[in-house]
């Protein structure tokens, strides 16, 4: 299978009425420009979400204004110029097939129509209709007739279908076709079956294909995906929290599989005239590289085949910024000694506020962590500390693995109701129920007060009640005088704290901390620094020295540690997404003038510390297993490499 160094993905969905498809397309020019950017992998549309094919198909509909085999010309040029080509087909959407075969569409439950008309989702497909065989036949047709390396199948979402075929299938399988959850689950299983059939068909023709099924949660078909591609347009609806959450997680699903980091040169899908600045694209790409993800920038193909010279200039510019670090990024594996836990990904992961917040807090603290799915195969032996934010469903499998981790004498930090209910014995507490107030406070003492002022602090989130059994009562919850509500005559709006209570805010049993307050939700709500410092203090209290300890790098700097044979590489990323009106953007690279941190590397002997790629020496001092490093002044991105033995 092709291993991607630099990718490009071209979006291209063209309405039936466009009169000029392929009119000015020059496959030689296009592929020469791709080569100029140093790209070795291209994703390009063979059939779009409008149901239009761009190749000579006997099964589907070639765009009526296209007079030749556009995809074929491109495939031929890619082959000659050594560019791996993956054919894009939309799996879940197809206007043309829907208009010709309305019986192939999703039949939504009454009152559950999910999409409007002026959207690519105006028609969605039923995966149990003859569309299924039609899609597989087109895939086979392309695999047999064009030199493609594989397929990218898009939009395989759970469109809840209650057509006759699906209802009969649900009845047979024991689903309740009148319940939305059952219908969605039936569709999910139908999608998985479709992916299995596509994979089997492709493998008959391409023995070691590149194959990725998009728009279903990462990991759902992890044995069928031969690579992962993380689609994220930060200004196009995904925001700047999505990539960090996914970057920490995807690399653990199947550590041996390559992960691509897809973003657009534009601001949103369908934005033909957008061109993000180099700093903005650099940020996304450097963040991905620092997590082992290879770059995959997306462009928009003008259906006419316009020559977008300025776009290629920008893509070439960005990739030239990344390429100088190839020797340090290619083949590097991320190191992590902390795990953030989640059961498995069923569309909820990036919508989970506690998870999003935990990723942000740990990133800001420079903790080296993985986001791991407890239901998946990856072992947890490497982790010294598990973090279990509030609201996370604790499955039997997760509980069993947490117990094993604790039995090995390792640490956990857990919050809120679910942990108190499921892990009471392990945490030394008994859960006593939810608290009805709207506002909570807490006070701290001892080790927990480091860098936190001595005062009553706000939680900005819910808290629950528990009593200690064999845990230490570390800090009390402070209740408010009254609830924030209308009392019939007066608004109880201003809610001062009353007194410390005998309800614990924090408990500790050995190196197991439980917090009765939802601190991750609190940080998500207000970004209050005392909550992040508190998390830092928890970590210091239970885990011992972690792989990386921040000394004075600013909060906006992101740091990851990667390993190659004989080397430990530290990625320092300094950009700061800024809210501007209705969107959040990156314009500038930030300068970092003061950047000390410590690496704890037991068993490793540090021979040199240099800046890549120049090889300039970096100031450092060794103390036992620790090495304290002072990053030189840098802007945007720096890579510090330690030669070790
Ligand atoms: Zn159906």
List pLDDT tens digits, range 436-481.
Answer: 999 999 999 988 999 999 999 999 999 999 999 999 999 999 999 9
Residues 592 and 555 in one domain: yes
Domain match, 245 and 346 both: no
Within the chain, what is the greatest distance between any pair of CA atoms?
A: 80
From residue 62, how far is each of 50, 66, 543 by CA, in Å? 11, 7, 61
Backbone angles phi, psi at 413, to 5 degrees: -125, 120
- 198-247 tens-digit pLDDT: 999 999 999 999 999 999 999 999 999 999 999 999 999 999 999 999 99
Q: What is the pLDDT of residue 447?
A: 87
The pLDDT assigned to 110 comes to 83
CB proximity list for 252: less than 8 A, separation 6 or greater: 370, 371, 372, 373, 376, 378
Same domain as 475, residue 391:
yes
In a domain, 451, yes or no: yes
User: Is 245 a member of any domain?
Assistant: yes
Give which of 226, 57, 212, 213 is closest to 134, Cα–Cα: 57
pLDDT at 461: 97
Q: What would the DSSP string read from start to end of 122-184?
A: GS-B-TTSTHHHHHHHHHHHHHHHS---EEEEE--------SHHHHHHHHHHT--TTSHHHHH
Range of the domain at 29: 7-323
Kindly give the distance from the C-alpha atom of residue 190 to the centroid of ligand 1, in angstroms, as a whole number.
Answer: 9
Q: How many domains does the chain have?
A: 3
Q: Collect residues with CB below 5 Å from ion ligand 1.
A: 126, 128, 161, 163, 166
Condensed to tens digits (0 to 9), the pLDDT of residues 138-155 reads 999 999 999 999 999 999
Are 144 and 281 members of one domain? yes
What's the 363 CA to ligand 1 centre distance in angstroms? 43
Looking up residue 419, the CATH number of its domain turns out to be 3.40.50.880
The alpha carbon of 13 is separated from its chain's Cα centroid by a whole number of angstroms, namely: 25
Please list the ranges in the chain whose pLDDT falls under 50: none
What lies within 8 Å, CB to CB, of 64 at 6+ separation is: 16
Indicate whether 264 and 411 sit together in one domain: no
Contact present, 512 and 406 (Cβ < 8 Å): yes
Q: DSSP of 198-224, one letter per residue?
A: HHHHHHHH-SS-EEEE-SS-TTTTTTT
Report whether 471 contacts 429 (CB < 8 A): yes
Cis amide prior to 366 (ω within 30 degrees) = no
What pLDDT, on the 0 to 100 scale, is given for residue 324? 98
Dihedral angle of Cα 618, 623, 624, 625, to the nearest 10 degrees: -40
Query: Is 298 in the same domain as 398?
Result: no
Which residue, 545, 575, 598, sits at the end of a domain? 545
Residue 142 CA to ligand 1 centre (angstroms): 26
The DSSP bridge pattern shows strands 338-342 and 369-373 to be parallel
**Does residue 52 form part of some domain?**
yes
Residues 140 and 188 in one domain: yes
Q: Which of 545, 573, 597 is the last residue of a domain?
A: 545
Rounded CA gap, 349 and 253, in Å?
14
Span from the CA of 66 to the centroid of ligand 1 (angstroms) = 32
315 plus 360 within the same structural domain: no
Please tell me the distance between residue 161's alpha carbon and the centre of ligand 1 in angstroms.
Answer: 4
Same domain, 139 and 198: yes
* C-beta separation of 155 from 93 below 8 A: yes
- Whole-prediction pTM: 0.97
Same domain, 349 and 498: yes
Examine the domain organization and report whether 541 and 555 are in the same domain. no
Considering the domain architecture, whether residues 495 and 554 belong to the same structural domain is answered as: no
How far does residue 590's CA lie from ligand 1's centre (Å)?
51
Residues 358 and 374: their CA atoms lie apart, in Å, by: 17
Choosing from 513, 529, 545, the residue where a domain stops is: 545
User: Is 1 inside any structural domain?
Assistant: no
């Amino acid at each position: 299978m092709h291993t991607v160094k630099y990718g490009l993905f071209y979006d291209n969905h063209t309405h039936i009425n466009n009169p000029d498809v392929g009119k000015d397309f020059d496959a030689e020019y296009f592929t020469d420009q791709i080569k100029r950017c140093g790209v070795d992998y291209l994703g390009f549309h063979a059939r779009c979400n409008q149901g239009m094919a761009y190749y000579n198909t006997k099964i589907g509909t070639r765009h009526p204004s296209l007079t030749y085999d556009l995809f074929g010309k491109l495939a031929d040029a890619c082959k000659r110029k050594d560019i791996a080509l993956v054919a894009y087909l939309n799996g879940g959407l197809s206007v043309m097939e829907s208009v010709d075969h309305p019986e192939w569409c999703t039949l939504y439950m009454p009152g559950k129509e999910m999409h409007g008309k002026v959207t690519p989702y105006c028609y969605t497909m039923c995966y149990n209709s003859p569309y299924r065989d039609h899609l597989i036949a087109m895939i086979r047709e392309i695999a047999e007739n064009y030199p493609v390396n594989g397929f990218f199948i898009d939009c395989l979402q759970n469109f809840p279908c209650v057509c006759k075929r699906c209802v009969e299938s649900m009845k047979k399988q024991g689903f309740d076709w009148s319940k939305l959850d059952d219908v969605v689950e039936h569709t999910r299983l139908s999608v998985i079956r479709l992916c299995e059939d596509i994979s089997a068909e492709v493998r008959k023709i391409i023995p070691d294909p590149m194959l990725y099924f998009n728009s279903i949660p990462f990991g759902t078909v992890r044995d069928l995906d031969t690579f992962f591609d993380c689609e994220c347009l930060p200004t196009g609806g995904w925001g700047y929290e999505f990539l960090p959450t996914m970057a920490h997680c995807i690399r653990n699903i199947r550590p041996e599989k390559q992960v691509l980091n897809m973003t657009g040169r534009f601001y949103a899908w369908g934005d033909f005239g957008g061109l993000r600045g180099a700093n903005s694209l650099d940020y996304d790409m450097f963040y991905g590289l620092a997590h082992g993800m290879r770059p995959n920038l997306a462009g928009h193909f003008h259906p006419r085949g316009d020559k977008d010279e300025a776009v290629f200039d920008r893509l070439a510019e960005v990739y030239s910024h990344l390429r100088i670090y190839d020797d340090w990024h290619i083949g590097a594996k991320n190191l992590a000694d902390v795990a953030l836990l989640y059961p498995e990904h069923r569309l909820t992961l990036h919508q989970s506020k506690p998870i999003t917040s935990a990723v942000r807090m740990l990133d800001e603290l420079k903790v080296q962590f993985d986001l791991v799915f407890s239901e998946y195969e990856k072992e947890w032996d490497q982790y010294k500390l598990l973090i279990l934010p509030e609201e996370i469903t604790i499955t039997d499998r997760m509980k069993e693995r947490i117990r094993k981790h604790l039995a090995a004498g390792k640490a956990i930090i857990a919050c809120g109701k679910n942990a108190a209910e499921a892990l009471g014995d392990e945490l030394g507490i008994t859960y006593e129920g939810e608290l009805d107030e709207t506002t909570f406070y807490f006070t701290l003492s001892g080790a927990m007060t480091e860098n936190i002022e001595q005062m009553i602090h706000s939680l900005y989130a819910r808290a629950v009640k528990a009593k200690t059994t064999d845990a230490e009562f570390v800090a009390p919850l402070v209740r408010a005088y009254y609830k924030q509500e209308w009392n019939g005559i007066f608004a109880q709006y201003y809610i001062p704290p009353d007194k410390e209570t005998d309800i614990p805010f924090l408990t500790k049993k050995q190196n197991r901390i439980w917090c009765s307050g939802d601190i991750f939700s609190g940080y998500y709500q207000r970004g209050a620094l005392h909550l992040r410092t508190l998390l830092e203090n928890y970590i210091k209290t239970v885990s011992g020295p972690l792989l990386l300890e921040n000394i004075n790098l600013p909060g906006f700097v992101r740091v990851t540690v990667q390993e190659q044979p004989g080397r430990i590489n530290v990625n320092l990323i300094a950009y700061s997404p800024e809210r501007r009106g209705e969107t959040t953007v990156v314009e500038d690279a930030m300068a970092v003038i003061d950047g000390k941190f410590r690496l704890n590397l037991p068993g490793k002997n540090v021979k040199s510390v240099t800046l890549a790629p120049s090889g300039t020496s970096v100031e450092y001092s060794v103390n036992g297993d620790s090495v304290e490093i002072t990053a030189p002044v840098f802007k945007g991105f720096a890579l510090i490499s330690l030669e070790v033995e």
